[in-house]
Amino acid sequence: MKSAIKSGKMKYIAVLSLITAAFVLISVFYLFGVSIVLEEDNRIYFDEIAFETANTVESRLNNLLNSIRNYSYRFTEFEGLTEAEQNTLLHETANASGFHDFVYINADGNALSARYGEAVLSNRDYFRNPFLLGTDYVSVGIVGHFTTEVMNMFSVPVLSKGEISGVLSGALESVYVKELINTDTFDGKSSSYIMNSEGLILLIPNNDILNIDAGFSLLEMAELTSGSEDAVFELLGANNAFGNFSFTFENENYFASFKSIGISEWMVITVIRTGDIAAVTFNVFGMVVIFTFISMLITSVAIIILGIRHWVFNKKFRETSDERDNFKNTDLLTGGPSFDKFITNVVDIFDKTEPDTGTYAMISMDINKFRTVNDHLGHDEGSRILIKLSELIQRNLTENETYTRKNADSFYILIKYVSDIDIFGRLDTLINDTYYQVEEFKLILSFGIYKIDDLTMDVRSIIDRADLARRTIKDNNESSYAFFDDNMLTKIREEKRIESIMEFALESNEFKVYLQPKYDLNNHTYIIGAEALVRWFRDGKMIPPGGFIPIFERNGFIVKIDRFVFEEVCKQQKIWLNRGYEMRTISVNMSRMNLQEPRFVRDLYEICTKYNVPTKYFEIEITESVAFENLETLTRVFNELKNYGFHISIDDFGTGYSSLNMLKNLPVDVLKIDRSFLADAKDERANNIISHVISLALSLHMKTICEGIETEEQVNLLSGLNCDMAQGFYFARPMPIDDYEKLLYSDNKVTS
Ligand code: C2E
Ligand code: MG
Ligand code: MG
């Protein structure tokens, strides 16, 4: 790094020397030229000075653009950063650069500014030009979207993997830009302006001898010497164009020289009163010296300042990257290695293990029902237990072993072993340590073990196998373990196969919606509505939801399936609505993953709007265990659903660990009591619980429905307990929509 900075400095010095040498050469050239100049050559001489002036202006603007381009390399991954990281990067850049502000504009024209936050800048020329043409761009002085000060936007395209992914724009106050084009040539008797390809003056220097405003059309407002108009117009906007002309403006005669500067199709036009050229000629020597001196001074100061800033920024950047690395490598709660760091550690350990010298096992460990720990002891105590556990694991690690905590209570440990006995020994130690050291709560641990036979295997696949083994352990009352075996691999393959066909299956209508009617327990023949349940038909066979829903829940595809089911139900409701049938609410299951989607409720609402079906004909079923995961999110989503007019039910109530007490502040309409409560209708204790749940739900103004009713006995029991509704094979199985329609509307019940 040091040598990079040094070589950076060397570059500055080299550039400084080159510029100085160039100025000295130019000075000598002028000195020599001027000594032989005659009166009539003055214009040519002015042309040359104007030419150099244009070059100076161009290089100053280019310097600024270059510095932005240097920053732009840090923005290639900008859109992948978190919001906080994006803001930090913009602020650091703005602070280090000396620009007023920095704005990153993405491909859609959405901008984030260090100072003023978000804006849409898709139609701004300083976005469109760099983005569409890939060129650097400087805008005219604008009163920014963000500020009342007049600014010029210096924009460069941001490249990511060779493609333009966005635009980085630095805003610089126009007063400074005006100074940049102030060149002070000819004793201040000439002025240089920036003119666009249509002949409009865009930037005016501080020493404006014409006394004009931006937007002034020099070529139209001034009287051009006859014969020169065509030539001038032809040259405007051309690449590498330069030329001169005389004109009269407000009764004064002027001479102008212009040259294009490859930025934004701009030209620098330098203007002087005709009479001033000759007068100045005699003072040329002094002028050249002063010009050279000032330019050198400005350049040197600029280079030194830029150099210092560059160094300071690099230093800060290095410090923050160190912090970031630290942040990325450490689990903030336990201080142990982060999951990413763990993966790198494992790869490193495998890399330096000679073949056949070590056998490793990956252990996936999880605390059973850790949520109950948080629930009983509070979040802080829960965290303390995780830290303790992390310490216990770390304490027993030997050389070339590592561990991590991923998510709440799931740990991975890489251990060395010779025989299975070593593994049992290690697990026993951990279980015992935990038992004695975490006294507040009896932690039940589950371990999935994968004995690694191929050290070149992808670490994530190794972890998947350990996880898979752990997931085969069902609810247990003691800590237990399971080894990975090849049957599980068949399961993984099946999972992968399902993943590879699921998108196609959805597009080719392999998923169908079935409806299972719900009955009123006060009038056993009355159907109150139905629950929509998805079915997958492939090669003439039906795959039950249990075979794909858990997989889709893991890979996120469930969100698409749920939208699909919702839309199918919506289409069907629309048909019945159009026919004037009496409408019944249909409930649709929504998996927990939907809750993380910011647009979840809004999307459902938009589907209803698309088909013009009122939201009150839908009930959204969310399973109970979600409440336990994140009551805060659930409250937000439920309130949103309620505001749009959807009904809400809590599915599988009784299988999670929440209580009605937790749910009492949620706008829940229906409580769906899980069928496991009905396992044994003769069990008095179970009946007592159902009875209490029903009366509590009633007191909270929720309706109750029992799922999985299979016998008349169960029906009678529930009727006696004042349960409102029932759903189950006793009444009807889930059925295709057509069958449901026949069942419900065979007598064409029309809305009264
Ligand atoms: P769930 O939401 O609790 O749905 C009720 C399940 O109980 C359905 O299973 C239904 O067929 C079954 N069932 C109904 N009556 C009886 C009965 O009397 N006895 C027995 N033994 N079972 C009965 P299914 O259709 O296999 O669905 C299983 C689970 O899959 C559902 O449980 C739900 O959690 C999920 N699921 C189904 N469709 C969707 C969907 O479109 N989206 C989401 N996210 N999940 C769905
Ligand atoms: Mg359900
Ligand atoms: Mg259910």
Q: How does DSSP assign 327-371, residue by residue? A: HHHB-TTT-SB-HHHHHHHHHHHHHTSPTTS-EEEEEEEEETTHH
According to DSSP, the β-strands at 541-543 and 101-106 are: unpaired
Q: Which of 239, 242, 240 is nearest to 231 (CA)?
A: 242
Atom from ligand 1 closest to the CA of residue 513:
41
Ligand 2 centroid to 503 CA: how many Å? 23
Residue 407 CA, chain-centre distance (Å), reads 20
Least confident of 16-20, 205-209, 215-219, 356-360: 16-20
The CATH code of domain 511-745 reads 3.20.20.450
Over residues 302-316, the mean pLDDT reads 67
DSSP 469-535: HHHT--S-SS-EEEE--HHHHHHHHHHHHHHHHHHHHHHTT-EEEEEEEEEETTEEEEEEEEEEEEE
**Hey, what CATH class is 76-176 in?**
alpha beta
The ligand with the least distance to the CA atom of 673 is 3
The ligand with the least distance to the CA atom of 734 is 1
- Homologous superfamily (CATH) for 339-484: Reverse transcriptase/Diguanylate cyclase domain (3.30.70.270)
Question: Which amino acid residue places its CA nearest to atom 19 of ligand 1?
Answer: 708
Question: Which amino acid residue places its CA nearest to atom 20 of ligand 1?
Answer: 708
Atom from ligand 1 closest to the CA of residue 709:
18
pLDDT for 320 beyond 80: no
Contact criterion met (CB below 8 Å) for 468 and 484 = yes
Residue 695, CA distances (Å) to 648, 673, 700, 715, 719 in order: 19, 13, 9, 17, 13
pLDDT for 38 beyond 50: no
Q: What is the pLDDT of residue 122?
A: 85
The ligand with the least distance to the CA atom of 624 is 3
Question: Which amino acid residue places its CA nearest to atom 17 of ligand 1?
Answer: 708
Ligand 1 environment, Cβ below 6 A? 516, 533-534, 544-546, 549, 558, 561-562, 565, 589-591, 621, 651-652, 707-710, 727-729, 734
Ligand 3 centroid to 708 CA: how many Å? 8
Q: What is the pLDDT of residue 30?
A: 62
Pocket mutation for ligand 1, best pick of 589, 591, 676, 740 (most atoms within 8 Å of C-beta):
589
Over residues 152-181, the mean pLDDT reads 86
Mean pLDDT across the chain = 85
Residues with CB under 5 A from ligand 3 (ion): 651-652, 707
Question: Which amino acid residue places its CA nearest to atom 41 of ligand 1?
Answer: 534
- CA dist 702 and 707 (Å) reads 16
Ligand 3 centroid to 705 CA: how many Å? 10
Least confident of 42-56, 280-294, 337-351, 379-393: 280-294
Atom from ligand 1 closest to the CA of residue 674:
3
Q: Is 54 exposed, middle or buried (0-12, 13-18, 19+ CB in 10 A)?
A: buried
Domain boundaries, the chain: 76-176, 339-484, 511-745
What confidence tens digit (pLDDT) does each residue in 450-497 have? 999 889 999 999 998 999 899 888 767 789 999 999 888 888 788 889
Q: What is the pLDDT of residue 98?
A: 78
Which residue type is seen at 131? Answer: F
Query: 5 or 449: whose pLDDT is higher?
Result: 449
The ligand with the least distance to the CA atom of 547 is 1
The ligand with the least distance to the CA atom of 533 is 1
Ligand 3 centroid to 637 CA: how many Å? 20
Ligand 1 centroid to 752 CA: how many Å? 32
Atom from ligand 1 closest to the CA of residue 710:
18
Which residue type is seen at 705? Answer: I
Question: Which amino acid residue places its CA nearest to atom 21 of ligand 1?
Answer: 708
Pocket mutation for ligand 1, best pick of 533, 537, 653 (most atoms within 8 Å of C-beta):
533
Tell me the pTM. Answer: 0.52
Residues in the chain: 752
Pocket mutation for ligand 1, best pick of 542, 618, 707, 715 (most atoms within 8 Å of C-beta):
707
What confidence tens digit (pLDDT) does each residue in 282-295 have? 555 556 566 666 76
What confidence tens digit (pLDDT) does each residue in 390-442 have? 999 999 999 999 999 987 789 999 999 988 899 999 999 999 998 888 877 78
Which residue type is seen at 59? Answer: S
Over residues 60-72, the mean pLDDT reads 84
- CA dist 582 and 749 (Å) reads 6
Contact criterion met (CB below 8 Å) for 93 and 156 = no
Contact criterion met (CB below 8 Å) for 448 and 481 = yes
Ligand 2 centroid to 544 CA: how many Å? 14
Question: Which amino acid residue places its CA nearest to atom 33 of ligand 1?
Answer: 589
